[in-house]
């Protein structure tokens, strides 16, 4: 969960020719499957895509991430650059120590990933529904780990077996 404070602001209303004063507002945000699902329900397109999002879509996603109750919708108009930087860093954070080796033989998956696909993966892998509130990167890492652990061992190529045997034989010869 990320907690940000939108600072108090003084603005000029040109239409009414008066100053507008806003109070500081603290928001609690979660980048989770729940947030993703809410956003996709509104925009009818996948959030986890490489397509650039409009400023309106970005602000709406921040609204979907908000778990603070009874927030004035105008507050989102006063997000500072620092607020947006913090939110982007939070969204990009892997939230785990787990890393994966790059497999040059691994096929690039160009499937469209939506909230429903992730819910399907959770169901198929028996991941509890409570995990939908986890940071989405942590959840996707868990799904990937489950897939790796559940997949059958890959057979070694003939060349790989020969190399490993040659290395073992060389080590044994050196020992004796």
Q: Name the one residue in this structure whose structure tokens are 């996707």.
A: 140
SS3 for 25?
strand
| pLDDT by 10-residue block (mean), the chain, 176 residues | 91 85 92 98 95 96 96 89 96 94 75 95 96 97 94 83 90 88
pTM here is 0.80
- What is the C-alpha R_g of the chain? 24
Number of neighbours of residue 110 by Cβ within 10 angstroms = 5
How is the chain split into domains, by residue range? 1-176
Question: What's residue 27's pLDDT?
Answer: 97
Of 50, 36, 47, 33, which Cα lies nearest the Cα of 110?
50
Which element (helix H / strand E) includes 37? helix 33-43
């Amino acid at each position: 969960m990320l907690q940000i404070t939108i600072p108090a602001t003084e603005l000029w209303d040109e239409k009414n020719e008066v100053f507008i004063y806003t109070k500081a507002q603290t928001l609690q945000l979660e980048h989770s499957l729940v947030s993703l699902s809410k956003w996709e329900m509104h925009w009818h397109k996948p959030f986890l895509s490489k397509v650039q999002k409009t400023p309106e879509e970005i602000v709406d996603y921040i609204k979907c991430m908000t778990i603070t109750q009874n927030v004035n919708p105008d507050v989102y108009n006063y997000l500072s650059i620092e607020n947006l930087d913090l939110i982007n860093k939070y969204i990009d954070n892997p939230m785990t120590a787990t890393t994966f080796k790059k497999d040059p033989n691994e096929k690039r998956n160009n499937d469209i990933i939506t909230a429903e696909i992730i819910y399907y993966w959770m169901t198929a892998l028996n991941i509890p529904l409570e995990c939908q509130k986890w940071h989405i990167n942590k959840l996707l890492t868990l799904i990937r780990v489950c897939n790796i652990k559940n997949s059958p061992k890959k057979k070694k190529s003939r060349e790989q077996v020969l190399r490993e045997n040659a290395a073992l034989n060389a080590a044994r010869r050196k020992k004796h």
